[in-house]
């Protein structure tokens, strides 16, 4: 009867190629994002997120072409993140066929940019990415802070306060990554996921740390997430999207099967 929780595979893209390996551990160039996106779409992924990790301008143009090609063939929502710093960047990605853009560092350096972007393009296409790290000691009340530059640079901003502020500024959705858990396969940081999900009115996507299907279930049932994002468990073929969806559905979660 209800809205389904979403599974979102995430692809890291450098100069128009998926990196980090898909199915073949250790192979850096893992293939054509269009083919991979089509495969995830056929498997029933609810959305696809691309993280553009390209540094050069030429590489960025290649990414734009890639988004255009995918948008011509994959008819589920596409989010593009990484290096979105201006309204021009947003317009370029939306015109190429992205449905949403995810803003990370630029939101921290200039929160007004989020307001400007949501006023211009609508909240529905502005996702704010939040990279949070636990800063409290074990015996203290839990507290998380925002970090930038891949978790290396602390900002002094409280993650829950920051999430509230970004929603006030118009963010339509939050992509929450735990820097402590990212890449560990130890599961989501359920504490920060729950704290932020309870603090805001908009959907929260949990990310960082998924190692098995039970983690996806916990992200929703204990973390209160509306969507779960994962990369390696799907890329390396440990689990397929239908397996993940059925597992979640068997645990009482509403899914699009």
Partner 1 sequence: MTIAVIDYGMGNLHSVAKALEHVTQENVIITRDARCIRGATRLVLPGQGAIRDCMGELERSQVKGLVQELLAEADKPLLGICVGQQMLLDESEENGGVACLGHLPGRVRRFPADMHDAQGERLKVPHMGWNRVDQHHEHPLWAGIESGERFYFVHSYYVDAAEDDTVFGTTDYGSVKAHVAIGRGPVFAVQFHPEKSASAGLRLLENFVTWEP
**Of 98 and 103, CB closest to partner 1:** 98
What is the rounded distance in angstroms from the CA atom of residue 162 to the CA atom of residue 184? 25
Which of 71, 87, 135, 186 contacts partner 1 by CB under 8 A?
71
Length of the chain: 257
Query: E-strand spans in 28-169?
Result: 29-31, 48-52, 78-81, 100-103, 126-134, 144-148, 153-158
Helix (H, G, I), strand (E, B) or coil at 7: strand
φ, ψ dihedrals at 156, nearest 5°: 80, 0
Q: How far apart are CA 98 and CA 93, in angstroms?
A: 6
Binding of partner 1 by 4 (CB under 8 A): yes
| Residues in 156-185 that interact with partner 1 by CB under 8 A | 172-173
Closer of 57 and 75 to partner 1 (Cβ): 75
Which of 96-104, 132-140, 152-160, 178-186 is the region at the interface with partner 1 (rule: CB under 8 A)?
96-104
For 142, the 3-state DSSP assignment is coil
Structure tokens at 17: 């190629």
Query: Using the rule CB under 8 A, is 88 a contact of partner 1?
Result: no
> Looking at beta carbons only, is 86 or 95 nearer to partner 1?
95
Q: Which one among 11, 96, 175, 216 touches partner 1, defined by CB under 8 A?
A: 96
Shortest separation between residue 228's beta carbon and partner 1, angstroms = 12
Helices (H) and strands (E) in the chain, counts: 10, 12
CB of 47 to partner 1, least distance (A): 8
Would you call 180 a catalytic residue per the annotation? no
Binding-residue total with partner 1 (CB under 8 A): 35
Identify whether 12 is a catalytic site residue: yes
- The yes or no reply on residue 26 touching partner 1 (CB under 8 A) is no
Q: How many CB atoms lie within 10 A of CB 138?
A: 6
Of residues 144, 226, 228, 233, which one binds partner 1 by CB under 8 A? 226
Report which of 190, 131, 122 is spatially closest to residue 159, judged by C-alpha positions.
Answer: 131
Residue 256 near partner 1 by CB under 8 A? yes
User: Which one of 131, 182, 189, 226 is the catalytic residue?
Assistant: 131
Residues serving a catalytic function are 12, 131
């Amino acid at each position: 009867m209800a809205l389904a929780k979403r599974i979102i595979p995430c692809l890291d893209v450098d100069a128009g190629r998926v990196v980090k390996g898909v199915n073949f551990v250790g192979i850096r160039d893992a293939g054509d994002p269009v083919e991979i996106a089509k495969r995830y779409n056929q498997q029933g992924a609810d959305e696809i997120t691309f993280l553009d990790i390209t540094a050069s301008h030429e590489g960025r143009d290649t990414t734009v072409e890639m988004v255009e090609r995918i948008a011509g063939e994959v008819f589920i929502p596409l989010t593009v993140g990484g290096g979105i710093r201006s309204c021009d960047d947003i317009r370029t990605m939306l015109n190429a066929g992205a449905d949403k853009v995810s803003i990370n560092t630029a939101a921290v350096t200039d929160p007004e940019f989020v307001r400007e972007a949501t006023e211009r393009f609508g909240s529905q296409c502005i996702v704010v990415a939040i990279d949070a790290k636990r800063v409290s000691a074990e015996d203290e009340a839990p507290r998380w802070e925002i970090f930038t530059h891949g978790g290396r640079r602390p900002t002094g901003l409280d993650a829950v306060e920051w999430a509230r502020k970004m929603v006030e500024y118009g963010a339509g959705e939050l992509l929450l990554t735990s820097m402590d858990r990212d890449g560990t396969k130890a599961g989501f940081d359920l504490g920060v996921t729950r704290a932020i999900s309870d603090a805001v009115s908009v959907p929260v996507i949990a990310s960082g740390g998924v190692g098995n299907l039970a983690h996806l279930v916990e992200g929703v049932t204990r973390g209160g997430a509306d969507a779960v994002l994962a990369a390696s468990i799907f890329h390396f073929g440990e689990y397929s999207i239908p397996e993940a969806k059925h597992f979640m559905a068997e645990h009482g979660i509403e899914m699009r099967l």
